[in-house]
C-alpha cells in the first residue's frame, strides 16, 4: 500500500491557472493523479488543462461539487497562509503546500489552526509526495520512480530527486516518497512520516534525508531507536556549512554545537541507522541491510 496519497485521492489544485500551477498540474495528470478541480478566485465556471479540470472560485464550492479530499497549493507566498486555512475550512483532510517564502509568523498561526482541525499539512516549501504508480502530488519528477518496497522522507527537494534516481538506477524501488519541506515550521515532521512507514506493510525499508539546522533528525533518531524495526539508511546534508550561516533552506542554520551534521549523524548511528557519506551511497547501504 502507500501512505498519504493513492488512487483514491481526489485532488484539487489551488492556483491551478497560474504558470507554476498549470505546469505541474499537467505533469500530475500525466502521471495519473486524479485532479478533480482547480481553485482560482474570479475564474469560477471556467475549465483549464485543456478542458480536463473545472475551475471554482472557492475550495468549499470545489469540494461540494467534486468530492475533492486533498489540496495542492501553488499560490504566491503572500496568499499561501490564507490558501491553507481555506483548504482546512473547506473540509480537506490533506493539504500539500509547495509555496516557498511563507513568513514564519504567518506559518505559526496556520500550523496551530490546522492542528486543531485535524488537517494533515505537508510543507510549506516542499516538493510534495509521490506514491509510486498511484498518485503524484507536487513537483517531484514522476519518471525517476519505480515501484518497490522502500519509503523515503526528506527535508530537501533536490536531494530527494538525486537519491530516488540513484535508487531506481540500482534497481531499488519505492513505495512513497515524501518531501516534508525545509522551513523552520512545517506541518509534518520526520517522526510523523517515519511512523506511517513503520506501520505500512509494503514498506520494508526506510530512507531519511536530513540536513543541518534544528533538532528534527535527533528527534527522529530517538523515535527510530524506540519504535522502528525496519532497516534504515540516511544522509545528512551540510557537513561543511559554517556555524551561524544559513545554507539553503530557512531551517538549515546551526548555532554552536547544536544542529550540526555531525551531531545528527551521531544520533542516527546511535539508533542503529547507517548514514551515507553521499547521496549516491544510499543504494549500497540499502543492499547492506538486506534490501533487494
Q: How far apart are CA 257 and CA 55, in angstroms?
A: 50
DSSP summary character for residue 143: G
Q: Which residues pair with 135 in a beta bridge?
A: 131
**Cell for 33?**
493523479
DSSP secondary structure letters along 254-281: -BTTBT-HHHHHHHHHHTT-EE-SSGGG
Q: How far apart are CA 26 and CA 286, in angstroms?
A: 33
List 24, 112, 145, 249, catalytic entry = 249
Closest by CA to 96, choosing from 117, 104, 88, is 88
Question: Which strands, in side-by-side order, build the sheet including 128-131?
Answer: 135-138, 128-131, 174-179, 147-154, 205-211, 232-237, 274-275
Distance CA 64, CA 3 (A): 25
The answer to whether 150 and 194 are in contact (CB under 8 A) is: no
85: part of which helix (H) or strand (E)? helix 80-89
Number of residues that make up the chain: 292
Among 178, 253, 162, 169, residue whose Cα is nearest residue 215: 253
Give CA–CA dist 153/196, Å, rounded: 11
249 a catalytic residue? yes
Residue with cell 507566498: 77
Distance of CA 113 to the CA centre of its chain: 20
Positions marked catalytic:
249
Amino acid at each position: 500500500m502507500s501512505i498519504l496519497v493513492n488512487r483514491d485521492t481526489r485532488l484539487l489544485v489551488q492556483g491551478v491557472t497560474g504558470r507554476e500551477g498549470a505546469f505541474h498540474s499537467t505533469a500530475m495528470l500525466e502521471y495519473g493523479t486524479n485532479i478533480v478541480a482547480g481553485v482560482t478566485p474570479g475564474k469560477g465556471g471556467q475549465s483549464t488543462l485543456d478542458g480536463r479540470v473545472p475551475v471554482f472560485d472557492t475550495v468549499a464550492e470545489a469540494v461540494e461539487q467534486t468530492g475533492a479530499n486533498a489540496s495542492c497549493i501553488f499560490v504566491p507566498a503572500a496568499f499561501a497562509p490564507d490558501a491553507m486555512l481555506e483548504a482546512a475550512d473547506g473540509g480537506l483532510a490533506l493539504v500539500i503546500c509547495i509555496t516557498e517564502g511563507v513568513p514564519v509568523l504567518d506559518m505559526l498561526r496556520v500550523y496551530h489552526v490546522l492542528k486543531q482541525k485535524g488537517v494533515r499539512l505537508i510543507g510549506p516549501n516542499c516538493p510534495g509526495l509521490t506514491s509510486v504508480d498511484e498518485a503524484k502530488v507536487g513537483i517531484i519528477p514522476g519518471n525517476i520512480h519505480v515501484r518497490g518496497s522502500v519509503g523515503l522522507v526528506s527535508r530537501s527537494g533536490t536531494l530527494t530527486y538525486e537519491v530516488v534516481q540513484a535508487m531506481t538506477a540500482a534497481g531499488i524501488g519505492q513505495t512513497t516518497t515524501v518531501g516534508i519541506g525545509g522551513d523552520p515550521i512545517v506541518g509534518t515532521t520526520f517522526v510523523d512520516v517515519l511512523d506511517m512507514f513503520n506501520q505500512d506493510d509494503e514498506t520494508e525499508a526506510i530512507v531519511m534525508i536530513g540536513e543541518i539546522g534544528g533538532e528534527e533528525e535527533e528527534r527522529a533518531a530517538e523515535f527510530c531507536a524506540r519504535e522502528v524495526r525496519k532497516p534504515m539508511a540516511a544522509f545528512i546534508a551540510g557537513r561543511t556549512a559554517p556555524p551561524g550561516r544559513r545554507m539553503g533552506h530557512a531551517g538549515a542554520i546551526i548555532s554552536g554545537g547544536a544542529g550540526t551534521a555531525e551531531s545528527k549523524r551521531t544520533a542516527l548511528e546511535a539508533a542503529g541507522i547507517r548514514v551515507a557519506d553521499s547521496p549516491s551511497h544510499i543504494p549500497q547501504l540499502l543492499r547492506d541491510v538486506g534490501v533487494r
